[in-house]
Structure 1
Amino acid sequence: MLVFHKLLYLSIESDKENGWQGLPRLLLKSPNLQTLVIKGLVHKVTYRCGNACVCTSKPKKKELYKRYEDVSPLYEVKGMCCLSTCRVKVLEISGYGGSTGEVKQMRHFLGKLKYLETVKIGVEEDNNNNGENLRANIMTLDRVSSKCNIQFI
């Protein structure tokens, strides 16, 4: 895959039927990416993608793990988190609902994106009544970047 040196802004939309197999490699090949926009944090978790990066994938069967090892050269270093090398400064999430999977994904983003300065989270309209709980849960998550400011939009 080519290296996308000029890619500064990336916007993706996720859904429950599609995995994020290509996202880790794309993030690794975008060394100057500054803004990552994701509409929805839901996706089909596969043994190849985990939650946005291969380091969180947990195969359930030995044969899946074997296949996972076989594809790891695609991610350059086995077990490497694509987010830890990512220079994203702005992360925008829309349609956040606060499900267990979404919280896990947010924890992973906040815990690995070390250059993160701003996180903008749009709470799903159905959760307006529960918005304060969602906000409180997000604010308790650890952040690797001391400059990280979380905004709710």
Structure 2
Amino acid sequence: MEQFQPEGMERVNSYTDSYPKIMIRGIFWKEIEADTSKISQDLREIQKTVQDYGHRLSNIPMKVDSLCHKMDEILKILPDLHKNLTDLKTEVADLKRNQREILKRPYPDKSVSGTPSDSTSSTSEREGERNSQPKTRDEQIQEILNSIK
């Protein structure tokens, strides 16, 4: 009942296929060697990946300690930063208030000559201002800053 099989050939019965497969032993073993070689290469890559992850995981405690140390430093600085920020807010509020007060002051109108622009300044002061050179912007800013102090 068995069919004649030439030497070096074997019949592989397949339960999933409807026809039998005939393979030469040498080709069959070459496929197995190629498969095992591929499996070995894949296993080496997996081993390398696992070692890499192990190295990364071993560095995590050092990185966590470093982060904790940096967070401690930040927490030590925060109260001073909060105080400085509060001081700056107060200074800004004071400067805004002073600016509003300065802007409320009447500014002498130099375009109209001969008519008093404001009753708060005396006539001699106005005449002195007309005779002197006009102040530069920097000088005006310096005057404002001096009046704030």
Length-normalised TM-score, structure 1: 0.17
Relative to total residues, which structure has the larger strand share, 1 or 2?
A: 1
Asked which structure has the greater RCO (Cα within 8 Å, sep 6+), the reply is: 1
Larger Rg: 2
